[in-house]
Amino acid sequence: MTVIHVFPGQGAHRLGMGKELFGRYPHLVRQADAVLGYSIEQLCLHGPEERLSDTRYTQCAMYTVGALSYVDRIRTTGELPDYVAGHSLGEYVALFAAGAFDFVTGLELVAKRAALMAQAGPGAMAAVLGITAERVREVLAGDDAPPVDVANLNAPEQTVVSGPPDDIAAAVELLKRETRAVVPLKVSGAFHAWPMAPAAREFEQFLAGYRLAPLRIPVVSNTTARPYADDEAAELLVRQLTSPVRWTESIGFLLDRPEPEFHELGPGQVLTGLISQIRVGRPVPAGASG
Residue closest to 159 by CA, chosen among 189, 127, 135, 184: 127
Question: Is position 46 annotated as part of the catalytic site?
Answer: no
Catalytic, out of 53, 88, 162, 188:
88
Instruction: Report the greatest alpha carbon distance in the chain.
Output: 56
Total residues belonging to the chain: 290
**Distance (Å, rounded) from C-alpha 78 to C-alpha 80?**
7
Distance CA(18)–CA(8), nearest Å, equals 13
For the residues of 127-160, what is the DSSP string, one character each? EEESS-HHHHHHHHTSTT--S-EEEEEEETTEEE
What is d(CA 207, CA 120) in angstroms, rounded to the nearest whole number?
18
Q: How far apart are CA 161 and CA 201, in angstroms?
A: 22
3-state DSSP helix/strand/coil % of the chain, to nearest 5: 45, 15, 40
243 is a catalytic site residue = no
Options 5, 87, 192, 243, the catalytic residue: 192
Q: Which residues belong to the active site?
A: 88, 192
